[in-house]
Amino acid sequence: MHLFTLLPLPYSLGVLTLAYIQNFCFTSSTTSPVKVCILQNSFQPGFVAEGDYIIGGIFPLHYNQEMPDLNCTYKPPPVKCNGFDPRAFRWAQTMRLAVEEINENPELLPNHTLGYKIFDSCAYPLTGQRAAIAVLNGINEDGAPMCSGASPLLAIIGESGSAQSIVVSRILQPFQIPMVIISYFSSCACFTDRIQYPTFFRVIPNDDYQVKAIAQLLVRFNWTWVGVVRGDHEYGRFAVQGLLRELQGTKVCVAYQEMIPLLYNQQRALEIMQVMRNSLARVVVVFSAEGEMTPFLRDYMTQNITGIQWVASEAWVTASVFTRKEYYPYLGGTIGFGIRTGYISRLSKYLERVNPQRYPNNPLVQELWEALYGCRPSLSSASQLPLCSGQESVLEQHSAYLNTSSPRVAYNTYKAVYAIAHSLHNLLMCQPGNGPFENKSCAQSDNVLPWQLQYYLQEVKFIIAGDEVNFDLKGDSVPYYDIINWQRGTSGNIEFVSVGLFDGTKPAGEELVIQEDMIMWAGHQSEVPVSVCSASCLPGFRKAVRHGEPVCCFDCVPCDSGKISNQINCTFCPEDFWSNKDRTICIPKKVEFLAYDSLGIALTVISVVGACLTIAVFAVFFYHRKTAIVRVNNSELSFFTLFALTLCFLCSLVFIGEPTFWSCMLRHTAFSITFSLCISCILGKTLVVLAAFSATRPGKNIMKWLGPKQQRAIIFSCTMVQVVICAAWLIHARPYPTRNTKYERSKIILECSVGSSLAFWCVLGYIGLQACLCFVLAFLARKLPGNFNEAKFITFSMLIFCAVWLAFIPAYISSPGNYTDAVESFAILASSFGLLFCLFAPKCYIILLKPEKNTKQHLMGKEKK
């Protein structure tokens, strides 16, 4: 009676898997040896060596696969493997060398020997499944009536790819046989799941580190628009998922994701190439195996697509099959992450010993010779190639097989065998009573169970060729990659040049070390290729993401005034800075105030001219102080008025120049006090005029109340009111210099803040009150008798004064920037000139040009006719 068992396998292999395991019987126990019998369709190993303990090896010695007929019922047809891979054959020989070295080492496994059984997986999950069952079962047990006996198999080294490794690992899982994955393609992050893969170990780094390294590489060279191509297996699927996860939060976007079918399909491959040709992405990241990439790249070259910068995963970055010179125009400049190189001292000589004479009955050695020399070594070979001469020997030119200068996968194979040997050695050295198992027991040396070896494999730590080998709790090893660049060699072939490294044990941001000057890029260029969806925005522009497209595809929009771009966003300049015309840098804002430029100089000249005219009038009045017109118009008040007007003209100069603490306080106080003094003098003159003409009426003697002392008292008291207001202003909220950046953000306007708006308008209001009172009184006295009634001129001067300052208010409020001070200065000068000309121009005219009218009789209108 046969036991029917279905194992959990990935992909759509259900029909094929069922066909293969229909007639298998299994017996397993955690406390007894394991036996698996194949009742039909035996699977022959490539190499076998007897020993006390057996290690299985599964390698992809072929890389092409012909699909079997799915209509099979019980016995599946043989699966034909094509395309011999000398590189994988080298890995198998490395495993044999390691076993022989261990058996020759008296300090490692003394009195015990290792054996091996090596099978071919054809780089295909279904064939890998057959190899795994074969390595468990034995060499050939066709027709065996029942399962009996015990297998000494303790561990398996393999498989080549993640998909194959999943199949093999799940087949081994019920028997708790540890599996050490060493090959280039079983780096899938999925294997860290200890629930699904509890017996899985590997000396190749976890793919999580590889995708992290590739993401850092893309960011390092600013490749923001990349294509991704993967194989149809867990390795490719998990790697792409990890890469997308690592790229989140970076500037890199994926333009497309394409998948190479597990069973190669040329039509689908051509569709992928068309996508690559049409895309703006010039950088393509590939997570695939050498076997899948071989036919794909062959078709790729026939399409004559160039200019692609390939980023290769460790699965194919060191594949020697692509080193021939015809590949260089299409693959030259490829960069990727390779498994860490090592050193195996005896490997080269060991490989040279493999020849048809030494192994005349081994079909794999015959295939090696056919692949290297294009001839068949014996007549028994089914090949149609010509017969070899027998003088052929393995030469260095056969790099796919003999290249041992920097072994990578072979070195991993070497470390894996030694990891098993050291673990077994530690198991055998266990002292009874101090063991790790139940009741502190040790394993029995003549009946070592695989799960017992697994315990020691988890704890193993040793040094080989200067490298420390150990496994973490998830069965992973130290994450370390060499950065490989494909460059043209002296013979025209492609050479793998190490241009840096990725050390996953370093702190974040320090893992990637690249010698950029050593890199040769695609197209034999020394400059880093550009791969972007949208070119970087020029300085002064920002990115505007296109609707419905990835963030890497954008339009460039100019920044607003006052902002500069970091080529991504526009940012405001600091408060005292503004953007230049191109929006590229922040420059200090232009500082404006009423300086001594054209406007400032004009106001200064007008102010000085006004002061000089006032002084000139003062001199004329002083020189003619004895004349009637000066005496009649109260010479003392006239002199006071001229003095005040001179100060009014000069106080406008305080508004010109950079505002300071003292100039701000002096501006409005000096202006208000001098104008208050001037208006007070005019008010006094107006009162004197009214009093003088009222005194001519009978019974009126008002002049005694408006003598010189009273006039001075009126001027002093009216001016002191303004002085008190200004003093309170300065004490409570004095004016101060300020930097106005709100009115015009591109400039800094230096101005004087009034401190207290109430005080400012009180000062102006008081001057206005004085002017209105003076205007009213002068208006009442305008028709008094006399040829020179000064009240008329006072009325007109006050009318001009009030008109100027009424116009000043809206102009002052609405004036921009430094023009505010210019408006106030202009109002001061305009009103001062109005007072000067209206009050003193007629008098100067009579004094200087009509001296005959400068008589008391004429002025009083009493001259004889």
Residues 710 and 680 grouped into a single domain = yes
Task: Specify whether the CB–CB gap between 746 and 589 falls below 8 A.
Answer: yes
Task: Specify whether the CB–CB gap between 372 and 388 falls below 8 A.
Answer: no
Q: What is the CATH number of the domain that holds 698?
A: 1.20.1070
Angular region, 781: left φ>0, alpha ψ -120 to 50, beta rest: alpha
Measured CA to CA, the distance from residue 91 to residue 94 in angstroms comes to 5
Q: What is the pLDDT of residue 3?
A: 33
Q: What is the pLDDT of residue 34?
A: 35
Q: What are phi and psi of 808, to 5 degrees?
A: -65, -40
Whether residue 370 lies inside any domain: the answer is: no
Whether residue 89 lies inside any domain: the answer is: yes
The long-range contacts involving 571-578, CB below 8 angstroms and separated by at least 24 positions, are: 575/741, 576/739, 576/741, 576/748, 578/745, 578/746, 578/747
Residues 722 and 815 grouped into a single domain = yes
- For the chain, give percent helix, strand, coil, nearest 5: 45, 15, 40
Residues 402 and 500 grouped into a single domain = no
Whether residue 557 lies inside any domain: the answer is: yes
Residues 453 and 549 grouped into a single domain = no
Residues 413 and 315 grouped into a single domain = no
Closest to 243 in 3D by CA, of 317, 120, 337, 172: 337
Whether residue 180 lies inside any domain: the answer is: yes
Q: What is the pLDDT of residue 185?
A: 53
Residues 780 and 667 grouped into a single domain = yes
Q: What is the pLDDT of residue 422?
A: 95
Domain count, the chain: 4
- Summarised one tens digit per residue, pLDDT across range 117-150 is 998 888 777 777 788 777 777 554 444 444 444 4
Quote the DSSP letter at residue 22: T
Measured CA to CA, the distance from residue 389 to residue 461 in angstroms comes to 48
Q: Is the dihedral of CA 436, 438, 444, 450 positive or negative?
A: negative
Residues 650 and 782 grouped into a single domain = yes
Low-confidence ranges of the chain (pLDDT < 70): 1-44, 64-80, 138-152, 160, 175-176, 178-185, 394-399, 567, 633, 692-706, 782-789, 816-818, 856-865
The long-range contacts involving 206-210, CB below 8 angstroms and separated by at least 24 positions, are: 206/474, 206/476, 206/479, 207/235, 207/238, 207/239, 207/242, 208/242, 209/479, 209/481, 209/502, 209/504, 210/239, 210/313, 210/314, 210/337, 210/481
The residue type at 596: Y
Whether residue 529 lies inside any domain: the answer is: no
Residues 118 and 267 grouped into a single domain = no
Whether residue 350 lies inside any domain: the answer is: no
Measured CA to CA, the distance from residue 686 to residue 797 in angstroms comes to 12
Q: Which of 437, 464, 491 lies at the terminal end of a domain, its last residue?
A: 464
Residues 249 and 326 grouped into a single domain = yes
Q: What's the whole-model pTM score?
A: 0.62
Burial degree of 26 (CB within 10 A; 0-12, 13-18, 19+): buried
Residues 86 and 187 grouped into a single domain = yes
Measured CA to CA, the distance from residue 237 to residue 729 in angstroms comes to 80
Is 117 strand, coil or helix?
A: strand
Q: What is the pLDDT of residue 784?
A: 63
Whether residue 859 lies inside any domain: the answer is: no
Whether residue 526 lies inside any domain: the answer is: no
Residues 817 and 737 grouped into a single domain = yes
Task: Specify whether the CB–CB gap between 683 and 644 falls below 8 A.
Answer: no
Residues 442 and 334 grouped into a single domain = no
Q: What is the pLDDT of residue 187?
A: 75
Q: What is the pLDDT of residue 145?
A: 41
Token couple for 345: 């001292």
| Domain membership of residue 582 as a residue range | 541-588
Q: What is the CATH number of the domain that holds 200?
A: 3.40.50.2300
Find how far residue 859's CA is from the centre of its chain: 91
Helical (H) or strand (E) element with 260: strand 253-260
38: Cβ contacts below 8 Å, ≥ 6 apart: 23, 24, 133, 134, 137, 141, 142
Examine residue 159 and say whether the peptide bond preceding it is cis (omega within 30 degrees of 0).
yes
